[in-house]
Structure 1
C-alpha cells in the first residue's frame, strides 16, 4: 500500500480500528463498508485495474461521525481526511496536478527529467530499479534525490558508497519493518523446504529482502524456475512494473497456490505439443518447454488477483534457465459466474456467450502465457562485436522485405529500449497470439473441445471474437480522459485490438449504438472470421513481433500509440439543450477535441 499513496496504510489502520457501533445511518454505514471493502481488495485507494482513485460516497461530516467512536479513530481520520476525499489526483501517473505516484515522493514534485537522470546513474552503477523509489529532498537551495532501496537492513552496504553521483544518494531500508518480518517468516519456511532447489530459492530470496540486492533476487529466480511441478507453488517479490509511470519500478506481489493435478495434466499435454525445433530467424533455435501449472490460489497479496503469470521477467534467465507459467484456476472460475453482468452482448446471444466465455478465457490464457510470452528472439549484440544472429547476412524483415537494420546493443534490454511501451506491447502481442490460434482444432482438442460437444470448437471461435469486442469496450473504463492515458496495460492492448479490427477487419466486428436506449452492442459476422478477422490479427501480431525482435521502438511507437488513442467515434460528447421560443432543441456536437471544448463553452457555466 505504501507504493500506492501516503494515505493508503493510514486508511487501512483507520478501518482496522473501527467497531460497528457508531452514530451513523444505515446508508452511511453501507457506504463506508463498501469503501472499506474496495480499499482492502485493491490494497490502496486506487483501483488495481485502471489506477483510478476512488473516494467514499460520504461527506466529511459523516466520516467524522463514524470516527467519533474513539479518540484514536478520530485522531487517525484527521490525519488523512483531506487526502482521503481529495480529487484530484484522479489517477496514478507522474506527479502533477491531476496524477500522483508514490514511487516518486518528497518535498517537491519529482520531474520526469529527474527520474531519467537517476536512471542513468543507476545504469552506470548496475543498480536495478524494481525495488526502488525516488524521494526528492530540498535543503535550502540544494536539491537531493534519494534512491530508496527496499531492504530490511538500514544504512549503506559495506562495499558501497551511499553517494551515487552529485546530488543523488542511495538510501537502503525502504519498507524495512515489513521486509524484516518477511525474512523471519521465510527462514521458518526454509526449515520445511521439500528439496534443495526450494532451499536455494529461499536462501537467495531472503538475502534479497535483507540487503536489497536484485542480483540475489535473480539467483532466487534461477532456482525457482528449476523447481518443476511443485505441489505448493509461490510467486513473491517486486515483480511487475505496471503501476510505475516510468515502467521500471515494480509493485510487491505474492501468491501461494496448491497445484491442481487434473488441470496441470492438460496443460502439460499442451506444453508437450508446443515443443519445436525453431521457426525462423525471429524465434529461438529451440523452444524450451516450461513448467505449466494450474493452481488454486490460497492467498494473494497485490492490488489485483491476477488470472495467470509468466515469470521471471528477466529475459536472460528465461533463455538460459527457463520460465514458469502459472494459471490461477479458482480466479479464472469467477468468469463462469452466471450472475456477472454483460452489457455489450445482445440478449438473444447472452446465454450462449456466458456458456462459452469462461472456456475461451481459460484457453486463451494458456496460449497467452505459454506460446506468446515464451516466444521470440531478441536480435542482439551480446558484447562488442559478438551477435546472436548473422550480422553479415541479417535476416529479412517481413514488414519491409529488406534486411533488418536495427538490433539490441550490449546491455540493452527489451524494457530499457521500449520503456513505458514495453508492458502494453508485450501484452498486446500475447493477446493477439491467443486470439489468432483459437481456430486451431488440434489445440482446442487438447482441452477436450471439438465440434461434437455441447460447447463446440466453432462456438469457442465465435465467442473469441465476441470477447474482442466486449474486452475492448470494457477497457475504456480504465482510460483517463483528463490526461489521455491508460491505467492498465492489458486494457490498453484490448482496446487497440478492437480498434484495429474495426478499422481493417472489413466488418468482421461491428459496434451498434442505440442512442435511444443508450446501449452499445457487439456484433460479429461469422462468415468473415477466417477470411478477414484472422488475417487482420496476423498483420497486427507480425508488426509487434518484428519490432520487438529488432528493437525498432520508433516504428512501434508510430503505429501503436495512435492505435491506442481514444478519439473520433470513441469520444462521448454531451449535447446541449437550447431554448428557442417555446421549444427546447438539442444541439449535438461532433466527436472531436474542438467540439468537446465548444460544447462546454456554449453551456455558459
Structure 2
C-alpha cells in the first residue's frame, strides 16, 4: 500500500452494548461468563506477539502513560507542553491500537501510524522513567510508515535473522505432516547453528519441552527433533519442535478455564472446557479437535464461547492461526427469527448451480448427504478478543468435524448494529443512490451475513480418499463434474486438506464462495420473505471498490482474504454480467462511482454470480487447484485502470472502526459486576488498564 501520511479522519468508536443481556444471566452463568472472558482476554498479548515485533512494546508504552497520569490525560497539555491537537491525535492512535490489539488493522493489514511527532511522544514519555524506557524501545517502528502492510518478510509468524522462503515453509509443513503435527498454533523460527540451518516449530502451550520430557524418561529419540536433515530434498536442515510459545499467557488462560469448568451448565460444556485445558497445556491439537466435537453439540447455550487458534487470515502461507477469544450471551428472541432459514436450508441448497435433480435428495454429488442444520444463534459479544470485531462466525474450521458433527453460526447483534451508522463515509456510491443505500445497508448486511455463514460456509463436500483405498464417494462410478459433464478427474488424497492443497488461496476462495452464495440466494423471493421483505424492498448492491484499500502495490498481494474476494467478484461482474455494473472514474477530481443497471440485476447479475460460484465450488470440492488458481489469480490482479482506481481509493482511506468493550469484575462477595466504559479513546484505554493483562 502507499506510504502516505496517517489519515486524520476521525474514526468512530462504538460501544459493544451488553449490560441488559448480561444482567439477565443467573449468578452461576455470570461466573461462567466472567472466567471465560478473563481466559479470552489473556490471549491479547498472544495476538500482539503474533502480529509485529513492536506490538507488545507499544501496548506497554500506552499503559505506562495511562498509569503515570492515572487516566487524567489532560495532564500532558497542562504540564508537559503537549497541545490539545497532539494529545487527541495520540489518543486516537492509542484507542485504535488497543481496539485492534496491534498496529496493523485486522482487515487489510494496513499499518496504523500515529500522526504525532517524535518530539511530542518524548514529551509525553517524560512523565515517568518507565514510560521513557518503553518509548525508547518502540519509537522507530511505531512512527515508521513502512512496512505499510504485513508480508512474509515482516510476519511475526516467521521469525529469525535468516529470512525464510515460501518453499522452506512448505518443506517444513511436509515434515510436520509426517510427524502428525498440525500448524494452527505454531510459528517458525529459522536460524543457523554451527553452520547448520535449524527450523524451530514454536508451539503454543503451557508446557515446555523439558516439562514433557520429564514424563517420557527412557525415550531413545529426543522428542523435539522432527527431522535431522536430508530426508526432504527441499529442506537441508534440522526441524525441531519447541513447545511453550506464549506459555505465560497460556498459563493464565488455563487458570481461568479451571475456574470456568466449575460453573458449566451441562456435560458437553464441561467436556469441551477440559479438552481446551489439555490442548492449551500440551499444545496438542488432537485434544482441541475433541473440544470442537463437544462444542458443536452444546446447542443454544446461554453463554457461548470460541477460544483457540482459529483463523489463518494473517499468515502469508495461510495455515497458522491468530488467537481468538470470543465470549457472548445468547438473545433467544432474535435467534428464533432465524429458525426458518435453518429449517429450510435443504430447499435452498437444491437451487444452487451444482444441484442435480434426483441425486442426493436433489442436492447433487458435491454436497453432503445430510445437511446438518447448525446451531444458528444471535448473540451479544461480552468479550471479543481478536484483531477485528467480526459481524459473525462460522466454526469450527475443521472440515471433517463439520461434516460429521456439524458447525455453529453465530451472529453478533451488538456488532451488527454499528452498520446502521448514518455518518459512515461512503465515497464510492453515486449521489443518486446514497440515500437509498444508507437506508438498507444494515438490512442487506444482516441478510447476506446470515446466509453467508449458514449456507455459504455450510455447504459443499470435499471429495476425498480419506485413507488408502477408502473414499467418501463411489470410486467405481465417480461423480459427474457438473461443469464439464464428464467424470471428475481429481480429489483430495490421504492426508490432504483444503488448506494444504490450496494454501494461501484457500482463505480468500472460501470467503468468495460464501459471499457468492449469499448474493445468489438473497435475490430469492422466498428468502426475502423469511426476513420480512417483499419484491418492492429497496435493496441495492454494496460498494466493492473499498476492497482496494487492502491491496499491497509493492508486492502485488492482498492483505485481506475478504477484500480480495470482494474485488474478484466486482471484477468478474464488470466483465461477465453484460453491463450490469460500471465504474465512473474521474482522475482529475479523484472520484469513483459504481453504477448499477437495476433492470439487469435479476437475470444478468444472478446468472453471472452463478457461473462464478459454480466454478469455484466444483474446483474446491475436487481439489482442482490448478484451474482455480488460474481463474482466481487473474481476477485478483490489479492492473491498468484498476491500478488507477486503487490509487484513488488509497487516497481516501476510511478509518477502521473502534470498539470499546465492558469488563467483568469478581467482587469480594463472590458475585460478578459488569463495568461499562464511555465511547471514547480514553474509555478504550481505561478498559485495557483495568484488565491487567
Q: Under a length normalisation based on structure 2, what TM-score does the superposition of the two structures give?
A: 0.79
Q: Is 1:441 the equivalent of 2:512?
A: no
1:321-361 superposed Cα distances (whole Å, 9 cap, x missing partner):
11100011111111111111211222232221111111111
Q: 2:151–2:316: 8 Å Cα contact kept in structure 1? A: yes
Superposed displacement of residue 25, structure 1: 1.7
Give 1:14's match in structure 2, choosing from 61, 68, 87: 61
Match of 2:424 in 1: 340
Report the Cα offset of residue 77 of structure 1.
0.9
Once the 2 structures are TM-superposed, how far is the Cα of residue 140 of structure 1 from its aligned partner?
4.1
Query: Which has the higher mean CA deviation after the structures are superposed, 52-61 or 117-126?
Result: 52-61
Matches within 5 A, 1:126-141: 126-141=180-195
Give, in whole Å, the separation in 1 of the partners of 2:434 and 2:422.
Answer: 10
Equivalent residue number for residue 58 of structure 1: 116
Pair 1:168 & 2:243 matched? no
5 Å-filtered alignment, 1:90-129, equals: 90-95=148-153, 100-129=154-183
Q: 1:382 to 1:552 in 2, by over 3 A?
A: same
Q: Does 1:267 align with 2:325?
A: no
Aligned residues of 1:278 and 1:286 also touching (Cα < 8 A): no
Map 1:309-348 onto structure 2 (within 5 A). 309-348=393-432
**Aligned CA distance change for structure 1 residues 574 and 183 (closer, same or farther; 3 Å):** closer
Inter-partner Cα distance in structure 2 for 1:435 and 1:263: 22
Match of 1:510 in 2: 582
Alignment of 1:454-493 (within 5 A): 456-457=536-537, 459-460=538-539, 463=540, 466-467=541-542, 470=543, 472-493=544-565
Kindly indicate whether the alpha-carbon contact (under 8 Å) linking 2:585 and 2:645 is maintained by their aligned counterparts in 1.
no
Query: d(CA) in 2 for partners of 1:502 and 1:111?
Result: 36
Q: Which stretches of structure 1, 4 residues or longer, exceed 4 Å deviation after superposition?
A: none
Aligned equivalent of 1:197: 268
| Structure 2 counterpart of 1:523 | 595
Query: CA shift at 1:193, angstroms?
Result: 0.2
Question: May I ask how many residue pairs the two structures share in their alignment?
Answer: 559
Task: State which drifts further: 16-25 or 410-419.
Answer: 16-25
Q: 2:452 aligns with which of 368, 372, 376?
A: 368
* Range with bigger deviation, 415-424 or 53-62: 53-62
Cα deviation, residue 516, structure 1: 4.8
1:526 is displaced (CA, Å) by 1.2
2:112 aligned counterpart, secondary structure: coil
CA contact (8 A) 2:463 2:621 kept: yes
Deviation at 1:385, TM superposition (A): 1.7
CA shift for structure 1 position 58? 2.1
Please tell me whether the aligned partners of residues 549 and 646 of structure 2 are also in contact (alpha carbons under 8 angstroms): no
Matched, 1:540 2:612: yes
Check whether the contact 1:197–1:226 (CA below 8 A) recurs between aligned residues: yes
2-side partners of 1:165 and 1:484: how far apart? 34
Note the alpha carbon deviations across 1:233-280, whole angstroms, 9 max, x for none. 111110000000010000001111111112211112210111364511
Q: Once structures 1 and 2 are overlaid, which stretch shifts more, 3-12 or 141-150?
A: 141-150
- C-alpha separation in 1, matches of 2:606 and 2:464: 31
Looking at structure 1, the residues matched to 583 and 167 of structure 2 have their Cα atoms a distance apart, in angstroms, of 41
Unmatched segments (≥5 aa) in structure 1: 576-605
Of stretches 402-411 and 245-254 in structure 1, the one that deviates more from structure 2 is 402-411
Note if contact 1:275-1:288 (Cα within 8 Å) is conserved in structure 2.
no
CA contact (8 A) 1:278 1:287 kept: no
Structure 2: how far apart are the matches of 1:414 and 1:399?
20
In 1, Cα distance between the equivalents of 2:304 and 2:644? Answer: 45
In the TM superposition, residue 121 of structure 1 has moved relative to its aligned partner by 1.0
Match of residue 319 from structure 2: 248
Note if 1:230 corresponds to 2:288.
Answer: no
After TM superposition, list the pairs within 5 Å mapping 1:523-602 onto structure 2: 523-572=595-644
- 1:218 equivalent to 2:289? Answer yes
Q: Find the residue that maps to 2:644 and give its secondary structure.
A: coil
Partners in 2 of 1:327 and 1:574 — Cα distance? 31
* Offset, 1:422: 0.6
SS at match of 1:3: helix
What SS does structure 2 have at the residue aligned with 1:244? coil
Q: Secondary structure of 2:382's partner?
A: strand
Distance 2:86 2:420 in 1: 33
Provide Cα deviations, 1:164-212, integer angstroms capped at 9, x if missing partner: 1122111111110111010000111110000000000100001111111
Task: Identify the range of structure 1 (268-277 vs 376-385) with the bigger mean alpha-carbon deviation.
Answer: 268-277
Q: Which string of whole-angstrom CA distances, capped at 9 and with x for unpartnered residues, describes residues 535-586 of structure 1?
A: 10000000000000110000000000010111121112999xxxxxxxxxxx
Contact 1:278 1:284 in 2 (8 A): no
Question: CA separation in 2, counterparts of 1:542 and 1:485?
Answer: 25
Task: Tell which deviates more after alignment, 248-257 or 394-403.
Answer: 394-403
Say which structure, 1 or 2, has more relative contact order (CA 8 Å, 6+ apart): 2
Say yes or no: does 1:88 pair with 2:146: yes
316-325 or 81-90: which moved more? Answer: 81-90
Indicate the RMSD between aligned Cα atoms, in angstroms: 1.6
More displaced stretch, 383-392 vs 229-238: 383-392
2:206/2:282 contact within 8 Å kept:
yes
- Residue of structure 2 equivalent to 1:239: 310
Match of 1:35 among 88, 93, 105: 93
Paired position in structure 2 for 1:305:
389
Is residue 351 of structure 1 aligned with residue 423 of structure 2? Answer: no
Confirm or deny: 8 A CA contact 1:7 1:84 kept in the other structure.
Answer: yes
Secondary structure of 2:58's match? helix
Query: Which position in structure 2 is the counterpart of 1:581?
Result: none
